Homo-oligomer: A and B are copies of this chain.
Amino acid sequence: MASIGTVTPQSMHFASALPLRSGASLADYTLVYETYGTLNAARSNAVLVCHALNASHHVAGSYAGNDNGVGWWDNLIGPGKPLDTDRFFVIGVNNPGSCFGSTGPTSPNPGNDGRPYGADFPVVTVEDWVDAQARLMDRLGIEQLAAVIGGSLGGMQALAWTLRFARHVRHCISIASAPNLSAQNIAFNEVARRAIITDPDFHGGHYQQHGAVPRRGLRVARMLGHITYLSDDSMDAKFGRALRQAEPAYSTLDIEFQIESYLRHQADKFSEYFDANTYLLITRALDYFDPAKDAGDDLARAFVPARDNRFLIVSFSTDWRFPPERSREIVKALVDNRIDVSYAEIDAPHGHDAFLLDDARYHGLLRAYFERIAAELPK
């Protein structure tokens, strides 16, 4: 199975404001996206891929002159791969508020003489992202998606598509996701946000205008996030209690254990490319997502509009961020509506990050499900 090869991001400008759930609106904006494969004549083979916290529209393939920068789901998407670009037209789109090209906090704010939005970028929700994605599908002439797929926060967007635009999507594939965040999930997000906001280089969110970057806060946020993406067992298997050197240095300030070295390295990398305001916005979008709340705290009632959609829900046994119980809540709400749903709980050791990895059972399942979708397409 080959990679899709060299890809090129595209962008689309939207001149009309996007109304947001908060009551505010986003003035004219740009979305960056990539496509792989070919849209068929019936325009019926499009699959939209929604990204999670730390990812972008760059889902598969690599950019010219940068073979290392393969897309974040390149193991899943490409010719002959489970999501086969010989059969499907795949779209990756960067959400507004992000820091990878679509309009976000680092973009010029037309309401402030073109200075960067910074902390003035409006709060965006999963529903707002789905609305923005729907406008893009409209522009691309895609009346109905064959499927929308995502993991974690991306899985929430996939669910929201069926609640807002049920007739414009056939299949929803929601992986390692949840119907809302638990108090503990929100609490972890809040620790990360406080680390960023209380970094003196944050300047109330207008650090760009001060020529500063709240790297300390971003590093702490990333270290913490990373812990919640991995299982306790996989961290033990990979790092255990191994010291960085043969003998302990007995220091509170220096690196002593290998796990510390790994986390600091991840944190340093992250703080070089990720925008702090985007981190705040995306964790807030996670916090706010709660479709049951709009339906009298009844998740089954929330899914009434999705009665004609078909669902694949996938969870991983060692995911303690969004454990299988949370996916089963979604499955129950679907079953209560007699909605067509397949559910798989994959026994995998890697924790939440498993949705990004190439596990044979997991990818076999997705391959089979996409073959089912492909069978519905015109020959």
Chain A interface (Cβ < 8 Å from any Cβ of B): 21-24, 119, 122-123, 180-184, 186-188, 190-191, 193-195, 197-200, 204-205, 216, 219-220, 223-224, 227, 230, 232, 235-236, 238-241, 248, 250-253, 256-257, 259-260, 263-264, 267, 277, 280-281, 284, 287-288, 290, 293, 320
Contact = CB atoms under 8 A, between A and B. Distances in A.
A183 B281 contact: no
Contacts of A260: 186-187, 190
Contact of A256 (B191, B220, B287): B287
A241 B191 contact: no
Contacts of A122: 250
B223 A288 contact: no
Report which residue of A184, A199, A224, A232 has the largest number of chain B beta carbons within 10 angstroms of its beta carbon. Answer: A184
Contacts of A293: 241
Nearest to A267: B194
A252 B232 contact: no
Given A253-B119, A277-B252, A263 B191 contact: yes
B235 A183 contact: yes
A184 B204 CA distance: 32
Contact of A220 (B182, B194, B253, B320): B194
A321 to B, nearest CB: 10
Contacts of A180: 241
Report which residue of A205, A216, A232, A252 has the largest number of chain B beta carbons within 10 angstroms of its beta carbon. Answer: A252
B220 A220 contact: yes
A193 B259 CA distance: 14
A224 B123 CA distance: 25
Given A182-B232, A184-B232, A187-B263, A223 B252 contact: no
A129 to B, nearest CB: 15
B227 A187 contact: yes
Given A186-B241, A241-B290, 20 more contacts: A22-B248, A123-B251, A123-B252, A182-B235, A182-B241, A183-B232, A183-B235, A183-B257, A186-B257, A186-B260, A187-B259, A191-B223, A191-B263, A193-B252, A197-B253, A198-B219, A205-B253, A248-B288, A252-B284, A256-B287
Contacts of A236: 182-184
A320 to B, nearest CB: 8
A371 to B, nearest CB: 37
B240 A183 contact: yes
A192 to B, nearest CB: 9
